[in-house]
Amino acid sequence: MTNAAKHVDDVQRALQAGAAALSPVAASWSRSSHLHSLSPERDLLPQRVEDAELKRDRDALGRLLEAARPSLDQIFELVGHAGCSVVMANNDGVVLERRGKMADDDTFERWGLWTGTVWSERSQGTNAIGTSIVEGRPVVIYKDQHFLSRNTVLSCMTAPIYDEYGSLAAVVDVSSCRPELSEEFARVICSLAVDAAHRIETQNFNLAFAGNRIVMLPEAAKRAPTLLAIDKHDIVIGATYAARKVLGLPPARKLNVPAPELFGQNPEESDTFDGAERGVLLRALERNGRNMTQTAKAIGLSRATLYRKLTQHGLLNDAEI
């Protein structure tokens, strides 16, 4: 039995045994067969989109692509010598950016890992790009874990990239055609792809909310970027995917949530005119070195009025008389 025939037999037996509930790979095989009507023996080259469609897709992710380029370059510097290509695809599986060595270009173009090709599950069955998009998580699809027999020469490691609204917008993928790549090393490479995806998310978030205050939640120690964007009115206007998961916020185009409510403060106690005035006074004192004269001038009060308000709020000891 040839390797291709054995792979087809393995896939069919897994599907007949109902293994989808036991394995994420088998679940993807099931989607490939039953949902997308694909057969593992089909020699199905990836579809290529027209140049005009590729340009529209690239334009749609303009800022995210800009944020991604340094990280794509960086990860390629780490893995390119091992015969790996690095691509970034949108959430339809269309490859928008690619990094590869010229010596490997013919191989990767022949297998379809090229700018403009489509690697959705609908198009290519189980593959790291398409399966990561469907499942919203990092995925390693190692050789014969692919659905189509023609793709079993590939080892692919993919991580999702979420945009500033917490929606899955793209993926970064590292792939190899070299038979000597071990599954253990493939998982190491996948961790590099995850790190690259997180750097891209962070850079894109900073660009999207430039000029606003960016706050990192303590959960950032768990590796994923848990960032909030807070405007000058103390309103949370943006949050990364990981931050939304921590705070129970759904993906949305916009956020307009008072920061005290997200941080567990009682809005009835903190969101009052007295509370707001006290905050203004404290911030003005700090900006002006706690000097009464400079603080009064900065916020447009007489020194006597400032003295009275500081006394009213119990802040007089914080000022230099």
Whether the CB-CB separation of 20 and 32 falls below 8 Å is answered with no
- Quote the distance between the C-alpha of residue 319 and its chain's center: 45
Residues 250 and 190 in one domain: no
Q: How far apart are CA 211 and CA 202, in angstroms?
A: 15
Does residue 251 share a domain with residue 221?
yes
How far is it, in rounded angstroms, from Cα 244 to Cα 311? 40
Q: How far apart are CA 240 and CA 165, in angstroms?
A: 7
Q: Are residues 68 and 119 in the same domain?
A: yes
Residues 46 and 195 placed together within one structural domain of the fold: yes
Question: Are 202 and 218 found together in one domain?
Answer: no
94: tokens are 């269309």
10 lies in a domain?
no
DSSP, res 307: H
Query: Are 125 and 258 within one domain?
Result: no
Beta bridge mates, 291: 320
User: Could you tell me if residue 161 is inside a domain?
Assistant: yes
Domain range holding 237?
A: 211-265
**In terms of domains, do 167 and 86 share one?**
yes
By DSSP bridging, strand 213-216 and strand 227-230 are antiparallel
Give the tokens for residue 185.
């090393």
**Closest by alpha carbon to 299, among 320, 285, 316?**
285
- Interatomic CA distance for residues 248 and 251, integer angstroms: 10
pLDDT tens digits in sequence order for the chain, 321 residues long: 677 888 888 888 888 877 665 688 999 999 999 999 999 998 888 999 999 999 999 999 999 999 999 999 999 999 998 899 999 999 999 999 999 999 999 999 998 999 999 999 999 999 999 999 999 999 999 999 999 999 999 999 999 999 999 999 999 999 998 989 999 999 999 999 999 999 999 999 999 999 999 999 876 556 789 999 999 878 899 999 999 998 888 887 778 888 877 776 555 555 577 777 877 887 888 788 888 888 888 888 898 888 888 888 887 776 655
Written as one string, the DSSP assignment of 177-233 is --TT--HHHHHHHHHHHHHHHHHHHHHHHHHHTTTSEEEE-GGGGGSS--EEEE-TT
Domain identity same for 302 and 283: yes
Confirm whether 26 is domain-assigned. no
Residue where one domain finishes, among candidates 156, 179, 206: 206
The residues, any chain, with a CB within 8 Å of residue 10's CB and separated by 6 or more, are 144
154 half-sphere exposure, CB direction, 13 A CA radius = 28
Identity of the residue numbered 139 = V
Under a CB-based contact definition with an 8 Å cutoff, are residues 259 and 236 in contact? yes
Last residue within a domain, chosen from 221, 242, 265: 265
Question: Is 78 contained in some domain?
Answer: yes
- Same structural domain, 249 and 296: no
